[in-house]
A and B are shown apart, each in its own frame.
Chain A
């Protein structure tokens, strides 16, 4: 099978990252599955699949440098919750969204705490930048630092 993943080339590499909102060096570590990560005490990068529970990682946040969240199909939104759960628990490392990601998911993903994007098919640069910049304001709290409209109204 062409799309079968072997343990050696698991996850994305820095070259696959199309958009990044961090100043530090791009994390370049082979990723492991959540199950493997929980068994290995030296792993620093992990890949979360939709069925994984991000809360399993919470005891190990201090040694994590890269968390990749896979979206095999963009309509499966479990990764949005995984991202927020990690950020709410204080994870500050790279949070990379990978897989079936389109222009119209970027703003939502960004708000849930993703700061790196490795879409399976490269996105139109101009359309993507327009999407990241589209919303001047937001209605609700999420994992970004944006203050929602209901708070801005009462400053």
Chain B
């Protein structure tokens, strides 16, 4: 794992002092709320329906146990004993007092963490593959590149007042576990003629106008990576729309200019910037890499387990992922208990996950963009002991990538932008399917719920998506089918008119019935939908 040196620590400590000073000026009335707003946002502090919400950055989703313990302590000390893991591998606290926020940030800085640029119109936390450095299908660990970009983007003087927020994801496998093409910039580390470089996908995003990012450069040499990103940003900062925030994301610019013209301008700027020497030395990348070196895996480990307990066997089948080292797997802790709030973890659960990561996973855990936690390096022989302890703490749900593994935004229960509640819909759906015992039968089914068109719950990318809207003062839910955030990225389509709260849960059941009825051998819900199209689902939903 990356470790701060004295420079990194000083930057974070200085930021705490800066924010403390900003808060002081706000409380003294030297800053109006209008002036303070973008400053607090650039430090992850939102004013929500009931209180301030603070979003803490978890760079590329990687945590050590001291950090996870600290997140648990913060939940206890400053919140109500909970934290909420997000779709960009961060954590949010929903009940923060402004006066206490500087102290909270100081506590974070003690464990090499921060809330820098987790909101605001700037470059946000860099996300990555939650199986980085572990997955058998990966070219190379993408996190050193993400760390390089984290540093470059932190307090970037030119790009701190962009037209709109800017999200970057970095992956290094053909299989996309980070929704890379739905980011403002998606970077895939690739190999060409034995040389490592980066493919740039620019202009993807969800929100009210979902777009899949086109590839604008198939290969950027590693010693020009930051320079190319800088060129992409400069063209955006110059020409991105500022007349309406709904058209201000880079996806709109790329769409309106056309990918070809945008690329031409980026290349022109890139040529210019190459002469400016903005690239960090390659030695810096080499300095970062060893921090992500493999831990000391044992060899000669058993690879067989006792599957006589069916509950345990089910969990192993559903919640573990192949590891590159023999005798190990990655274990995924589901934060989606039936009827629970997707992505929430209590103080006690966070402490437990921290302990387990130390005991069983070389002191490391990861946050997934699907709001779960990964213990990346678990010995197969330890799985039963691990599962027993997880299960006792309500963390043993065997439902990864199933219809119970729902992504949901905070919705109208917390968010001031939302039109409808998301959490109760997620709870009702997971309860309905769990009760019927149909979850396993349905197999891989990614269901995602957003409480408004800003799409924080990724409904466009769900095999089944749900979008909450306001219909004359009443919550109404639209149903979407056929989206995917994986390497076969696709945007879901609306089935037709919306449903009320009970109706949407019934509608989800109706479309899964069609799937079960029509699926062919080995087909997932998404595959069946792609084969038979929207019509059979529509007919079942709306009749006639």
Whether a CB of chain A sits under 8 angstroms from the CB of B18 is: yes
- Nearest CB in chain B to that of A124: its residue: B30
Whether a CB of chain A sits under 8 angstroms from the CB of B292 is: no
Instruction: Chain A residues near B152: list those with CB within 8 A.
Output: 139-140
The digit string for B141-174, where 1 denotes a CB below 8 A from any CB of A, is 0000000100110111111111000000000000
- Nearest CB in chain B to that of A105: its residue: B161
Whether a CB of chain A sits under 8 angstroms from the CB of B293 is: no
Instruction: Chain A residues near B474: list those with CB within 8 A.
Output: none
Say yes or no: A141-B21 contact (C-beta < 8 A), given A75-B38, A136-B10, A149-B151. Answer: no
- Nearest CB in chain B to that of A104: its residue: B39
List A9-51 residues whose CB lies under 8 Å from chain B. 50
Report how far A124 CA is from B405 CA in the complex, Å. 52
Total interface residues in chain A, CB < 8 Å:
40
List B224-273 residues whose CB lies under 8 Å from chain A. 226, 234, 237-238, 242, 272
CB distance from A117 to the nearest CB of B (A): 14
- Nearest CB in chain A to that of B150: its residue: A139
The digit string for B199-243, where 1 denotes a CB below 8 A from any CB of A, is 000000000000000000000000000100000001001100010
CB distance from A7 to the nearest CB of B (A): 26
Say yes or no: A80-B25 contact (C-beta < 8 A), given A107-B157, A135-B155, A150-B281. Answer: no
| B159 touching A150, Cβ below 8 Å | no
Whether a CB of chain B sits under 8 angstroms from the CB of A88 is: yes
Instruction: Chain A residues near B151: list those with CB within 8 A.
Output: 139-140, 149-150
Whether a CB of chain A sits under 8 angstroms from the CB of B528 is: no
- Nearest CB in chain A to that of B283: its residue: A154
Instruction: Chain A residues near B388: list those with CB within 8 A.
Output: none
Whether a CB of chain A sits under 8 angstroms from the CB of B276 is: yes
Whether a CB of chain A sits under 8 angstroms from the CB of B287 is: yes
Whether a CB of chain B sits under 8 angstroms from the CB of A61 is: no
Report how far A87 CA is from B284 CA in the complex, Å. 26
Report how far A140 CA is from B17 CA in the complex, Å. 21
Report how far A134 CA is from B277 CA in the complex, Å. 25
- Nearest CB in chain B to that of A141: its residue: B278
Whether a CB of chain B sits under 8 angstroms from the CB of A152 is: yes
Whether a CB of chain A sits under 8 angstroms from the CB of B303 is: no
Report how far A84 CA is from B37 CA in the complex, Å. 26
Report how far A112 CA is from B278 CA in the complex, Å. 13
Whether a CB of chain A sits under 8 angstroms from the CB of B35 is: yes
Instruction: Chain B residues near A107: list those with CB within 8 A.
Output: 157
| B280 touching A142, Cβ below 8 Å | no
A-B contact count (CB 8 A): 109
Say yes or no: A142-B157 contact (C-beta < 8 A), given A78-B237, A127-B25. Answer: yes
Whether a CB of chain A sits under 8 angstroms from the CB of B7 is: yes
Instruction: Chain B residues near A141: list those with CB within 8 A.
Output: 276-278
- Nearest CB in chain B to that of A79: its residue: B161
Whether a CB of chain B sits under 8 angstroms from the CB of A132 is: no
Whether a CB of chain B sits under 8 angstroms from the CB of A60 is: no
List B1-52 residues whose CB lies under 8 Å from chain A. 5, 7-8, 10-11, 14, 17-18, 21-22, 25, 30-31, 35, 38-39
Report how far A140 CA is from B27 CA in the complex, Å. 32
Whether a CB of chain B sits under 8 angstroms from the CB of A129 is: no
Say yes or no: A78-B238 contact (C-beta < 8 A), given A151-B280, A153-B5. Answer: yes
Whether a CB of chain A sits under 8 angstroms from the CB of B440 is: no
Instruction: Chain B residues near A84: list those with CB within 8 A.
Output: 158
Whether a CB of chain A sits under 8 angstroms from the CB of B121 is: yes
| A151 touching B281, Cβ below 8 Å | yes
| B161 touching A88, Cβ below 8 Å | no
Of the residues A104, A142, A149, contact of B158 by C-beta under 8 Å: A142
Instruction: Chain A residues near B121: list those with CB within 8 A.
Output: 75, 77
Report how far A65 CA is from B161 CA in the complex, Å. 27
Instruction: Chain A residues near B242: list those with CB within 8 A.
Output: 50, 76, 78
The digit string for A91-114, where 1 denotes a CB below 8 A from any CB of B, is 000000000001111011111100
Of the residues A53, A81, A152, contact of B234 by C-beta under 8 Å: A81
Of the residues A75, A77, A109, contact of B159 by C-beta under 8 Å: A77
Instruction: Chain B residues near A50: list those with CB within 8 A.
Output: 242
Say yes or no: A130-B21 contact (C-beta < 8 A), given A74-B161, A135-B14. Answer: yes
Report how far A139 CA is from B154 CA in the complex, Å. 7
| B160 touching A154, Cβ below 8 Å | no
| B277 touching A81, Cβ below 8 Å | no
Of the residues A109, A124, A136, A153, contact of B284 by C-beta under 8 Å: A153
| A139 touching B11, Cβ below 8 Å | yes
- Nearest CB in chain B to that of A82: its residue: B238
- Nearest CB in chain A to that of B234: its residue: A81
Report how far A74 CA is from B156 CA in the complex, Å. 16
Report how far A107 CA is from B5 CA in the complex, Å. 23
Report how far A46 CA is from B21 CA in the complex, Å. 35
- Nearest CB in chain A to that of B154: its residue: A139
- Nearest CB in chain A to that of B148: its residue: A150
Say yes or no: A88-B272 contact (C-beta < 8 A), given A77-B160, A112-B158, A135-B155. Answer: yes
Whether a CB of chain B sits under 8 angstroms from the CB of A138 is: yes
| B157 touching A75, Cβ below 8 Å | no
Instruction: Chain A residues near B284: list those with CB within 8 A.
Output: 150-151, 153-154
| A108 touching B160, Cβ below 8 Å | yes
CB distance from A97 to the nearest CB of B (A): 12
B residues engaging A (CB < 8 A)? 5, 7-8, 10-11, 14, 17-18, 21-22, 25, 30-31, 35, 38-39, 121, 148, 151-152, 154-162, 226, 234, 237-238, 242, 272, 276-278, 280-281, 283-284, 287
Could you show 30 A-B contacts with beta carbons less than 8 Å apart? Answer: A53-B238, A74-B35, A75-B38, A76-B242, A77-B121, A77-B158, A77-B161, A80-B157, A81-B158, A81-B234, A81-B237, A81-B238, A88-B276, A103-B25, A105-B161, A108-B157, A110-B157, A134-B14, A135-B14, A137-B7, A137-B10, A139-B154, A139-B155, A139-B156, A142-B157, A149-B11, A150-B148, A150-B284, A151-B284, A153-B7
List 18 additional A-B contacts (Cβ < 8 Å) besides A102-B31, A108-B157, A138-B155: A77-B158, A80-B160, A80-B161, A81-B158, A81-B234, A84-B158, A88-B276, A111-B157, A112-B157, A130-B21, A137-B10, A139-B156, A140-B157, A149-B151, A150-B151, A152-B7, A153-B287, A154-B287
